[in-house]
Structure 1
């Protein structure tokens, strides 16, 4: 019969394997992104690119992706990527206005779609799904909202321009003040140096006139005894 030490080792191995199984999916999880903008706007009758990229720390094989509209279970487009050297290919598409614009070249892992001839009814939530068999069929998704409008509103930058002008003016004023300060300091320094030179020169002239040592006053001959 196995001793207590053997049972303890077996339990430790079992716990270690379970903990490792929990940590691996967390550290190697699949990531999907549709960009920083949660909502994008497009004009009716034009086209719009719905972005989507994915990443995986351990790579992928026979990766499956699909897009859904407004939380529907039916994909509007579905495809797969064989490996990191293969471009995405479309397997199913229910609308001729949708085209796949993705590529895996330069490790972009791009599975974005282009929606042409936009209609107001195209407004809604578009979700990009990705499933990676190499990560035990781990699935991840990201959602972006599309708003189709008559025309894009022009952004009023007046306030921004005013703020920039004020900030620029304050910075310019500070620079001018610093330059004036340096100029005044330089002028004062030169003035003090000139005054000092004048004082030294004036002191030398007084000594000469009073016949002090080092002066050029006429020396008297010594008195004869």
Structure 2
């Protein structure tokens, strides 16, 4: 034990703070690359669905990996009040090879394809008992069999309620009318300013000039007469 302690202490003594920092950065970089290139499983942007009793629904799931796949194992299972019921499972050996899917539910159909990284399933003739959480699970051998999963929630209803948009339509119509009226008013105002007002100004100037000439002609002789001197006696 003493020799081991001396060896470990001598090794630690040889490592400078700079070496430790470089080693830490290298580990962090490797972990970052691993996390970015790792497998991702997704059930889409909307992870829930309201479906009518007796209909057939698609439970979507896709996978992606920047480092590729090898012996990708996947399955679907349903959470039945805490008991996980397996619906189907398969292994995709390599990219582009279609898997041989084992289906364990009479109303489940596999509709995915490895060519599009799709492992979705159909659930036929759903009942109220089918409502709940469905898990899409995948594990890639290239990632040392790390587990990945995504959940899809199914709600089963009698009918899909239609949203009454009457009030919204009225509000939008009123706003549209106000905006349209404002635009028409601005256009008319612009036309008046550009075409009608300049013509009125020209006519007013002509009227002022003509009225000034009339006054000069009418009062010219009188003005001259007034300027004449008083006749001498």
Under TM normalisation by the shorter chain, which class is it?
0.7 to 0.9
Aligned to 1:115: 123
SS of residue matched to 2:88: strand
Match among 159, 163, 166 for residue 155 of structure 1: 163
Aligned to 2:199: 190
Cα gap change, 1:59 to 1:194, in 2 (>3 Å): farther
Aligned to 2:76: 67
Is contact 1:132–1:138 with CA below 8 Å preserved after alignment?
A: yes
Match among 91, 95, 105 for residue 84 of structure 1: 95
Q: Distance in 2 between matches of 1:194 and 1:134?
A: 90
Aligned to 1:22: 31
**How much does 1:20 deviate?**
3.2
Q: Distance in 2 between matches of 1:140 and 1:166?
A: 51
Is contact 1:50–1:114 with CA below 8 Å preserved after alignment?
A: yes
SS of residue matched to 2:46: coil
Is contact 2:133–2:151 with CA below 8 Å preserved after alignment?
A: yes
Which has the larger helix fraction? 2
Q: Distance in 1 between matches of 2:47 and 2:63?
A: 17
- TM-score scaled to structure 2, two decimals? 0.73
Q: Distance in 2 between matches of 1:4 and 1:140?
A: 38
- In structure 2, the gaps of 5 or more residues are 1-6, 218-233
- TM-score scaled to structure 1, two decimals? 0.75
**How much does 1:6 deviate?**
6.0
- In structure 1, the gaps of 5 or more residues are 210-225
**How much does 1:17 deviate?**
4.2
Cα gap change, 1:91 to 1:104, in 2 (>3 Å): closer
Structure 1 runs (4+) greater than 3 angstroms displaced = 1-17, 71-74, 193-196, 199-203
Larger-Rg structure? 2
Q: Distance in 2 between matches of 1:69 and 1:3?
A: 53
Number of aligned residue pairs: give it. 205
SS of residue matched to 1:128: strand
Match among 28, 47, 61 for residue 52 of structure 1: 61
Is contact 2:60–2:120 with CA below 8 Å preserved after alignment?
A: yes
Is contact 1:90–1:100 with CA below 8 Å preserved after alignment?
A: no
